[in-house]
Amino acid sequence: MTPVHDRTAWLQGGKAVCLQPPTRVDRIWRLVLLGPPGSGKGTQAELLAHSLGACALSTGDVFRAARGHPAPPGSAMAVAQEQMARGELVTDNSVLALIRERGRCLRCSGGFMLDGFPRTLAQAEAIDALLVAENLQLDAVVSYELPTPEIIARLSGRRTCPACKSVFHVETCPPKREAVCDRCGGALVQREDDRPEAIQVRLEAYQSATVPLAAHYQKKGLLFPISAAGLPAEILARTLDALAIRVLGL
Ligand code: AP5
């Protein structure tokens, strides 16, 4: 569960400087992780970070981290947090401003994995343009697939640690002590957007806004659909196999 990078700078916003030197890697990986809410993108992002050395960057984590620093009412961040709590997507402009602010994370020599970004066609086109401008290329867009009943079970039982961002599940990945984080001892909570009414809104937003991205990346030959069923280690192995075969040609 120990992260490869502390992601402190990523979570603190544009001006923060990353103090963690990039992990030495044999190959720099630049990936996008797609998939419905609760399919396990965040879980896989942490596992992949260990295997590949690239930093896992989640836009959802940034918006949640900002909650600890109350934004002025009506400000873009305050509006973004309200949208997020309801399960709605945050506006493209707010998300893109955030990504541009942290452009140096995209240029990191350790690589990156984008978890939860892009999630609209406008965001995908903006990141395409940003990467072209930086002369960088994506290696793959891994699209995790899971049936809806399993998604709902994963989201309903998820518990997270607001302090260190560790993720647990009351049945499939319970903490050693009930409601206490194994990593830092913090009190585990249920995310506001894991309430049933917000889950429904998120699933609808995923269908209408994010599913079209699959076709966008399919046309570019970057889309790798992966089943997200089974144990996290099994899904990781499937992902690494797909990357080895289709990207490295092994
Ligand atoms: P975000 O935080 O990105 O949420 P999400 O995409 O909805 O994904 P989740 O974090 O809910 O799930 P996950 O797939 O990472 O699953 P996890 O690994 O935790 O975004 C939240 C909100 O922020 C959005 O709704 C939106 O409002 C806003 N936002 C963020 N980015 C945005 C953007 N670019 N544009 C607009 N708005 C944006 O796993 C889930 C549970 O399942 C856990 O309990 C875990 O322990 C368990 N689990 C994981 N793998 C397995 C397994 N293999 N078997 C059994 N259990 C498992």
Q: What DSSP string runs through 82-127? A: HHHHHTPPPPHHHHHHHHHHTHHHHT-TT-EEEES---SHHHHHHH
- Ligand 1: does its nearest atom lie under 6 Å from the Cβ of 235? yes
pTM: predicted TM-score of the whole model, two decimal places: 0.91
pLDDT for position 158: 96
Q: Which of 41, 64, 154, 159 is catalytic?
A: 41
Tell me: the pLDDT tens digits for 6-34?
Answer: 566 766 666 677 777 666 778 899 999 99
Pick the CATH number of 8-146+210-246 from 3.40.50.10860, 3.40.50.300, 3.40.50.720, 3.30.70.100: 3.40.50.300
Mean pLDDT of 207-235: 96
Answer yes or no: is pLDDT of 3 > 50.
no
Whole-number Cα distances in Å, 120 to 25, 89, 135, 191, 214: 31, 9, 22, 23, 10
pLDDT tier, 1 (very low <50, low <70, confident <90, very high otherwise): very low
The CATH 3.40.50.300 domain(s) of the chain lie at: 8-146+210-246
Residue 191 annotated as catalytic: yes
- Specify the 3-state DSSP secondary structure of 232: helix
Rounded-to-integer distance, Cα 79 and Cα 66, Å:
12
Q: Residue 30 and residue 189: Cα distance in Å, rounded?
A: 31
Residue 129: its H or E element: helix 121-133
Answer whether residue 93 shows pLDDT above 60: yes
- Which residue's alpha carbon is nearest to atom 39 within ligand 1? 40
41 is catalytic: yes
Neighbours of 207 (CB within 10 A): 11
Half-sphere exposure of residue 207: CA atoms within 13 angstroms, side-chain side:
7
Is 167 a pocket residue for ligand 1 (Cβ < 6 Å)? yes
> Which residues, including other chains, have CB under 8 Å from residue 26's CB and lie 6 or more apart?
none
Residue 152, ligand 1, Cβ within 6 A = no
